[in-house]
Each structure stands twice: as C-alpha cells, then as structure tokens.
Amino acid sequence: MSKACKACSRLNESNVCVACGATDFSSRWNGLVIIINPEKSVVAEKLGIKEKGEYALSVQ
Ligand SMILES: [Zn+2]
C-alpha cells in the first residue's frame, strides 16, 4: 500500500517523496487522484499539484 506525503499528498512507495523530497508520510489517506496533465487539470490547480502522478485527496 502506498503512503501519502504529508507535505504534497503525492503517493509514494519509497521513503523520500519523489515530488517534493519530504520524508514525512501517512498511511491514512483517502481519495486517489491521478494527475496526468497538471497544467491542464482543474483538480491539479485546486490541489496545488504541479507534477503528474498519483495523489491522495485527503491525508490524515
Ligand atoms: Zn511530497
């Protein structure tokens, strides 16, 4: 099961976030969001996502 970065919500398999480099993760997250075109996505804009990938909608 992937962990969600607490800083940017990016889902990660490793212990260092591939999107922002943070090391603080949570296994308690909800709502999978897959961003393919960050520059064209309204969802990405709302969530402040600038890199493509899988993100959690909410992280606890
Ligand atoms: Zn991150």
Structure confidence by residue, pLDDT tens digits, 7-57: 999 999 999 999 999 999 999 999 999 999 999 999 899 888 999 999 999
Tell me the three state secondary structure of residue 45: helix
Q: Which residues surround ligand 1, an ion (CB under 5 A)?
A: 5, 7-8, 10, 17, 19-20, 22
**What was the pLDDT predicted at 1?**
78
Distance 21 CA to ligand 1 centre (A): 6
pTM of the model: 0.87
**What was the pLDDT predicted at 7?**
95
Is 35 in contact with 49 (CB distance < 8 Å)?
yes
Distance of CA 24 to the CA centre of its chain: 12
Q: What domains lie within the chain, and their CATH numbers?
A: 3-59 (2.20.28.90)
**What was the pLDDT predicted at 15?**
94
Distance 51 CA to ligand 1 centre (A): 10
**What was the pLDDT predicted at 9?**
95
CA-closest candidate to residue 54, choices 46, 38, 42, 45: 38
Distance 23 CA to ligand 1 centre (A): 8
